[in-house]
Amino acid sequence: MNKPTTFADVVCCGCSCLCDDLQVVVDANRVTQLTPVCPHASSYFAVTGAAADCRIDGKEVSLEQGISAAGKMLDAAKAPLLLGLGEMTIDGQRAALDWADRLGAYVDAGNPAEPDPSGVVLQSTGMITATLGEIRDRADVILFWNADPQTTQPRYMERFALDAAGRFIGGSRTAMAIDEAATATSARAELFCESPVSANLEFAHALLALARGKTIDRERLAAFPQIEQIHAQLAAANYAAIICGPKFYGGADGAAILETLADYVRELNRANRAIISLLKSGPNWIGAAESIAWRTGYPSPVRFAADGPAFDPTGFRAAKLLARGEVDTIVRFDGDWLKATPPEMLAALEKLPTISFGWSDFDVPAKVAFRVAKPGVECGGSMHRMDDVPLPLTPVLSTKRKTTEAIIRQLIG
Ligand code: SF4
């Protein structure tokens, strides 16, 4: 009888923290123990379902038949769209972009459930940011703005924030929170400001005005006394970290909000150190944005064309293309993002002929559906943590399933 195998320092792809300190015990090709405990990690390392490697219209077929059918669908496509790149490895993303280039396809590398203008803002105005390790070691004042890592990234606090020991922090940290309602994270804050997401732009402008010593109409913002307190704490910090969740930058004016906050943080840096850190949800959306920028020079979304890639920050977004009926075939890389995708977008996706690649059972229908090896569980590769740090994945379970990259390479020929 085989003995259980223990893998050390395994990277977890259960969320964007990509914790790289897991100990995983495997017995009879099943994960039987995970430490430290994290509910999201337990669910990520559970490989569920026994779906066939490939199905056409729900019926099991050979991989070769699936590859041939997918090739024919794309030969007939005039405007394919690739989306969902953020839960695959960097190698898979590179293969997908090679494929998109050959197809002349649209690629939206952002999370459809979380519009993210940060790629555009980083290229247009820039943003002062930091690694999670630096936040852990130096941030003595932390503002969580529409961010609830206590719920969404269960080990964030113990690894990088309020419950982590900071190498260069003498006393305790000060936590503040701004959100539209109380959260598990705001419950830990010394100062909580309840404010609707729609007020974020005005809030950020008020902070910027305070930092620049401008006169402000105090009557315009009900939360002004709290804004003043928040600014006072951030300005007095040795090292202030502003952690923003997807709701913060995901609205229609997300780019303007992020740019205003970036300006504010530049002002704070005249006297002390301050940074912005974006709390993405899935494991490799930052890698997807980077893969597309390495390949095209543009942030997502792009369209590959014979005379080179084109970029349109709003017009090429998957939601916009689908609403306008401008795509005729979908290549979908499935993952947890599908659970949070707005229903109207899912409905639009389901109407189009689709080729899907996924590592769980086929929840959302597809004409041709490939079941692939699960990154960080059944196959290796690398992903980029939310702060751009690349981390190598360990395959802890053996499988005969192919990786997304391998199937794409076979399709490209
Ligand atoms: S916090 Fe996220 S990356 Fe870390 S162990 Fe939990 S699910 Fe995995």
Helix/strand/coil percent split, the chain, to 5: 35, 20, 40
Which of 147-156, 165-174, 360-369 is predicted least confidently? Answer: 360-369
Mutational pocket test of ligand 1: of 13, 155, 285, the residue with most ligand atoms within 8 Å of the beta carbon? 155
Give the position of tokens 């719920």: 151
237 and 303 part of one domain? no
Six-digit token string for 153: 């990234």
Please, are residues 368 and 355 in contact by the beta-carbon 8 Å criterion?
yes
pLDDT tens digits, one per residue of 355-377: 999 998 767 889 999 999 999 99
Residue 49 belongs to a domain: no
Average model confidence (pLDDT) for the chain? 94
In this prediction, residue 362 carries a pLDDT of 60
**Number of domains into which the chain is organized:** 3
Residue 144 belongs to a domain: yes
> How many whole angstroms separate alpha carbon 127 and alpha carbon 273?
13
311 and 219 part of one domain? no
Q: Is the CB of 155 under 6 A from ligand 1?
A: yes
Residue 295 belongs to a domain: yes
In this prediction, residue 1 carries a pLDDT of 63
Q: Is the CB of 391 under 6 A from ligand 1?
A: no
* Domain span including residue 209: 118-278
State mean pLDDT over 304-323. Answer: 92
Reference 197, options 257, 247, 243, 149; nearest CA is 247
- Going by pLDDT thresholds of 50, 70 and 90, the confidence category of residue 124 is confident
In this prediction, residue 360 carries a pLDDT of 84
pLDDT tens digits, one per residue of 2-20: 789 999 999 999 999 999 9
Give the torsion sign (CA, 403, 405, 408, 412): negative
pLDDT tens digits, one per residue of 135-151: 999 999 999 999 999 99
Q: Is the CB of 95 under 6 A from ligand 1?
A: no
State mean pLDDT over 159-183. Answer: 95
> How many whole angstroms separate alpha carbon 198 and alpha carbon 359?
37
Please, are residues 412 and 341 in contact by the beta-carbon 8 Å criterion?
no
303 and 358 part of one domain? yes
